[in-house]
Amino acid sequence: MVAGPARLLDLTRSVSRLGRGPMTGIDRVEAAWAAELVKQTEPALALIRTGAGFLLLDRVGMAALLTTDLPARADGLARLTHRRHPAWARAETLARRLAVARCSRFGLARMVRRWCPAGGIYLNLGHANLVPRTLRQVQRGGLKVTVLIHDTIPLDHPDLVRVGSPDAFRRKLAAVVQHADRVIHLTAATRQLTEGHFARLGRVPPGCTAPLGVMPARPDPAALPAGPTLSRPYFVALGTIEPRKNIGLLLDVWDVLAAPPQLLLIGARGWAGADLLARLDALPPGGAITELNGLPDDAVAALLAGARALLFPSLAEGYGLPPLEAAALGVPVLALKLPVIHETLGDYPVYLNDSNRYSWATKIEELVQTTERAGQTDARIVLPTWEAHFNAVLSPA
């Protein structure tokens, strides 16, 4: 039991991701929130759904969850429910050891009411548990539901996501429409799109616009992997390799460059079409294009800091963190003029057309030849901070 209004942070998604490689953007958001809530004086708790029900962690457990090494072996219950995901099973085992309370899937309202008698807010940042039954029980336990909607790409660009994703996402949005007391939006552009979908679903919940903070890792050249030769000009594309990231355009550009520089594709392969994967598989070892994944943050920052530019031809974004991280390091950005990118970065990037590989090739050749790495870095931007983000969300609506 905690005294005073509580902040209950859903870390179900984070637990499912522990031990499975570098953090994704959503992982970082949940980790930043966990670290902030642990520091604040208000009561802080974490909620985790398991195969058997729900776990509740207090402030100490929340801090330990994201900093403690996973146990070498999962417990029997976790092995039973996550047979195909051993890292997830070990992470759930750790969470169970740290829990101060647990309940069945039907006892959530009672557990929340017992531990949060003064009410408070439930923060869902990763879209796990966005189902009516869970949100309804949280509200019956006396908490206000606050949900972060990163983007509505599955509905706006169904051709860029997995088959079935639009329907699954629409169901989550419907649950938010029905139960959310407040929605967090990352930009005005994404808020406009999201609230349009809300309106079509029958209700627009109250919301706030709170851009995520930008705090890139400190570049560490000692953490760089062996392989790429960094003594000559190179470019970086950063992010999961999937259709909306438009990596195929960069492959097209490199096909037409007379003397192609190095291109480092930093990120794991996600869902991608067979044609793109075949093109990547056909790249010659030691050629101009290199795939890198599983790198620590300080190595990624070092590669980004030394690049002639970040290439970001993404077709759709909810926020676009890599360009902001590049800007924080003073690295030029070449990108499509998406509304969210223009909103967050203004005139800092060089904006290019998606359909014209030759305009990309021309600009890349210019950056290779110039003795000044930064072509557009005279444009000054004010990067968003985590402090401003937390204040916007936690201030009274």
- Domains of the chain, each with CATH number or no CATH: 6-212 (3.40.50), 221-369 (3.40.50.2000)
At 227-268, the pLDDT tens digits run: 777 888 999 999 989 999 999 999 999 999 999 999 999 998
Q: How many CB atoms lie within 10 A of CB 15?
A: 22
Q: What is the mean pLDDT of residues 158-166?
A: 92
Contact 10, 135 (CB under 8 A): no
Which of 192-201, 289-298, 327-336, 379-388 has the lowest average pLDDT? 379-388
Give the per-residue pLDDT at 78: 64
pLDDT above 70 (res 293):
yes
Give the per-residue pLDDT at 53: 93
Q: What is the mean pLDDT of residues 84-113?
A: 89
Task: Tell me the pTM.
Answer: 0.92
- % of the chain with per-residue pLDDT over 90: 69
At 1-13, the pLDDT tens digits run: 666 689 999 999 9
Give the per-residue pLDDT at 140: 97
* Residue 335 φ then ψ, to 5°: -150, 165
Q: What is the mean pLDDT of residues 80-100?
A: 79
Give the per-residue pLDDT at 382: 83
**DSSP assignments along 310-368, one per residue:** EEE--S--SS-HHHHHHHHTT--EEE---HHHHHHHTTSSEE--TT-HHHHHHHHHHHH
Q: What is the three-class DSSP state of 48?
A: strand
CA distance 277 to 359: 25
